[in-house]
């Protein structure tokens, strides 16, 4: 079966029905994508955030799904301190070590000729967990001269633009998420059975209500969704492929070009992301904090 995107205009609504756009006094905000992504200016994240600023950032995150910053040259301690405002911190490895203080959840990682990036597939982080991670704060330390962008896709817009009969159909379906697919199976070869005992496959709805905004949001991805339950296997495979392809539609996307000190702060339940691996074997160094 050949899948064709429908040509013509898309339904591109940033907000849930009835929701009002936010007003912000502590920073300026420049839209980047049609339904997601805003570049914020006037905030110095090296300084501790007061309650008013945190409240405005929270409203902006829920409205825009991805907040982007430039020239934020944070120390590891400052990065971890900012992340600690947003939830229970975790080191988003397959099996996270204990987190006793914010800095325990701070991770710097390098991609170069020896360590190849495996982020170039559309996905949401940790959907193989009973409780997927809620958000990530990613900061660029060193970037290649060209390439290495991160792309984001709005999965509420992806759901909104499914044909109505298909939306109704997928609303009640359940999918199995399994970390031991593709690149992860290769990365942890030799430990797959041991780690699968700790993190067995888990079921999630194909469509979720976002816990804060209540937007209906497509919740399957290429990297971790193994199958849709309750359907003929061939039908299930075809449907899963069709749903995963929704992240590929440019109208639902933004593309962020990194600079040293740039930050992308995203709602992991609202968007998928894709780390373009077009810079190998050049060097790219990033810092990450993740929270539930």
pLDDT at 184 over 80: no
DSSP 50-114: PHHHHHHHHHHHHHHSEEEESS----HHHHHHHHTTSS-EE--SSSPPP-SSGGGG-EEEEESSS
Quick check: is 22 in a domain? no
**Which position among 92, 125, 154, 267 bears the catalytic label?**
125
Any catalytic annotation for residue 273?
yes
Domain that holds residue 112: 28-291
Quick check: is 285 in a domain? yes
Any catalytic annotation for residue 26?
no
Q: What is the CATH number of the domain that holds 271?
A: 3.60.130.10
Quick check: is 12 in a domain? no
What φ, ψ does residue 10 adopt, rounded to 5°? -110, 160
Report CA torsion sign: 120, 6, 164, 253. Answer: positive
Quote the mean pLDDT of the chain. Answer: 95
Quick check: is 14 in a domain? no
Q: What is the pLDDT of residues 96-105, one digit of tens each?
A: 889 999 999 9
pLDDT band, residue 1 (cuts 50/70/90): low
Domains held by the chain: number: 1
For 189, half-sphere exposure in the C-beta direction (CA atoms, 13 angstrom radius) is 4
Quick check: is 82 in a domain? yes
Any catalytic annotation for residue 11?
no
Quick check: is 1 in a domain? no
Quick check: is 5 in a domain? no
Quick check: is 11 in a domain? no
**Which position among 79, 123, 222, 284 bears the catalytic label?**
123
pTM: 0.96
Q: What is the pLDDT of residues 22-33, one digit of tens each?
A: 999 999 999 999
Residues of the chain above pLDDT 70, percent? 99
- Contact call for residues 203 and 187 (beta carbons, < 8 A): no
């Amino acid at each position: 079966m050949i899948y064709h995107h429908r040509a013509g205009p898309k339904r591109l609504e940033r907000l849930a029905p009835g929701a009002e756009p936010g007003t912000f006094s502590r920073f300026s905000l420049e839209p980047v994508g049609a339904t997601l992504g805003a570049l914020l200016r006037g905030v110095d994240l090296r300084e501790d955030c007061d309650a008013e600023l945190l409240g405005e950032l929270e409203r902006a995150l829920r409205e825009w799904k991805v907040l982007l910053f430039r020239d934020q040259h944070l120390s590891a301690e400052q990065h971890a301190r900012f992340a600690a405002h947003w939830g229970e911190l975790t080191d988003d490895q397959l099996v996270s070590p204990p987190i006793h203080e914010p800095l325990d959840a701070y991770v710097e990682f390098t991609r170069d000729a020896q360590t190849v990036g495996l982020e170039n597939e559309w996905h949401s982080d940790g959907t193989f967990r009973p409780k997927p991670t809620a958000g990530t704060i990613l900061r660029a330390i060193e970037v290649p001269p060209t390439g290495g962008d991160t792309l984001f896709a709005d999965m509420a817009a992806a759901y909104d633009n499914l044909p109505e009969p298909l939306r109704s159909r997928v609303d009640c379906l359940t999918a199995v998420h399994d970390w031991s697919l593709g690149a992860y199976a290769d990365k942890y070869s030799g430990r797959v059975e041991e780690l699968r005992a700790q993190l067995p496959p888990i079921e999630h709805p194909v469509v979720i209500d976002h816990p804060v905004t209540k937007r209906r949001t497509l919740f399957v991805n290429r990297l971790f969704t193994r199958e849709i339950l309750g359907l003929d296997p061939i039908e299930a495979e075809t449907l899963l492929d069709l749903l995963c392809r929704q992240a590929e539609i440019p109208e639902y996307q933004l593309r962020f070009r990194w600079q040293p000190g740039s930050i992308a702060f995203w709602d992991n339940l609202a968007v998928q992301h894709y780390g373009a691996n077009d810079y190998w074997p050049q060097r790219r160094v990033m810092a990450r904090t993740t929270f539930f």
